[in-house]
Amino acid sequence: MKPQALYKVLLSHYGKQLWWPVTEPGQTIPSYKPRKRLSGRQKLEICIGAILTQNTDWKNVMKALENLNRAGMMDCGKIAGARQQSIATLVKPSGYYNRKAKKVKAFCKYLQKKYNGSISKLLSKPIEELRSELLSLHGIGNETADDIILYAAEQPSFVVDAYTTRFVKRFFGRTAIDYVEVKGFFEQQLPKDAQLFNEFHALLVEHGKRYCRREPQCGECFLAGKCEFQQRK
Ligand code: SF4
C-alpha cells in the first residue's frame, strides 16, 4: 500500500485529529479544534509545546502549558527575561524541567534578540532556511524542528517520531531506517501539502497508541491484511 492510500484508510477510520491543540484567547488549556489562522501567541505556544513534549506524554505538556498560561507567561519577552528557575517550576509537569526550562528560555531569548520577539518573522522563512536555523538552536533536534515547521509555521515538513518509525518498520517492512530516511520516505511519495502532513502524522500517532504499540495488537488491527509485519509471520 502506498502512503497516500494508507492516509485515506487511516483518515476514514479515525477521522480528523485537529492537531496541534492551542489555547484560545481568554482560556488557559489548549484545545483541539479547526482553526483558520493561528495568532502569534498560539504559534509561540506550539513552539514551546514542541520543546516540552520531548521524552514525555502530551498530557504532561498540557499541564505545563496551562501553568505558563495561568501565570501569564506565554510571552516571548517575559520568558526571555524570567529566571530559569521560575520557568522550571512552571514546566515541571513535563519532566526534565530544568533542561526544558533552559531550552525554552534560550529559544525565547534568541527570538527577542534576532526578531524583536516576533515568532511570525522567524516562521515565515522558507522551509530549508527555517529548518537549519531551528536546528542550530539549543535543544532543538529534528523532530522538534519539524513540529515547529509543520504545526506553527504551517509549512510542509513531515514529522517523524517513535510511533512513525516503529510503524514504518513494521507496516512497510523497512529495516534500519533513521529519522531522515523515514521523513524522505513520506515526503518523496506525497504531495507537499502542510494539511496532509499535519493530519497524516497525527493519524500515525493515533494508530501507534491504539494498535501498533510496543506490543502490537495485530489481531485487532484493521491494517493487518496490508501489513508486511503480519505477512512475514
Ligand atoms: S498489523 Fe500489527 S504491526 Fe501491522 S500496523 Fe497493525 S498493529 Fe502494527
Q: Where are the domains of the chain?
A: 3-16+158-231, 40-152
Residue 44 sits at the vertex; the CA angle it makes with 86 and 111, to the nearest 5 degrees, is 80
Pick from 140, 141, 67, 64: nearest CA to 95: 64
Cβ of 231 below 6 Å from ligand 1 = no
Task: Provide the 3-class DSSP secondary structure of residue 22.
Answer: strand
pLDDT band at 201, cuts 50/70/90?
Answer: very high
Instruction: Give this prediction's pTM.
Output: 0.95
pLDDT of 232 higher than 80: no
Asked whether 170 lines ligand 1 (CB < 6 A), one says: yes
- Looking at the CA of residue 218, tell me the nearest atom of ligand 1: 2
When pLDDT is averaged across residues 106-129 and rounded to a whole number, the result is 97
Cα 165 to ligand 1 centroid, rounded to whole Å: 13
CATH value of 3-16+158-231 in 1.10.1670.10, 3.50.50.60, 1.10.3720.10, 1.10.10.10 = 1.10.1670.10
38/188 Cα distance (integer angstroms): 28
pLDDT tens digits, one per residue of 29-59: 999 998 889 999 999 999 999 999 999 999 9
Given this model, what pLDDT does residue 184 score?
A: 95
pLDDT-derived band at 185 (thresholds 50, 70, 90) equals very high
pLDDT at 108: 98
Q: Is residue 218 classed exposed, middle or buried when 0-12, 13-18 and 19+ CB atoms within 10 A define those classes?
A: middle
Rounded distance from Cα 220 to ligand 1 centre (Å): 9
* Residue 193, all three cell numbers: 501539502
Cell representation of residue 159: 514529522
**Domain range 40-152, its CATH number among 1.10.340.30, 3.40.50.1820, 3.20.20.20, 3.20.20.105:** 1.10.340.30
Which three-class secondary structure string do you get for 185-212? HHHCCCCCCHHHHHHHHHHHHHHHHHCC
Specify the pLDDT at position 62. 97
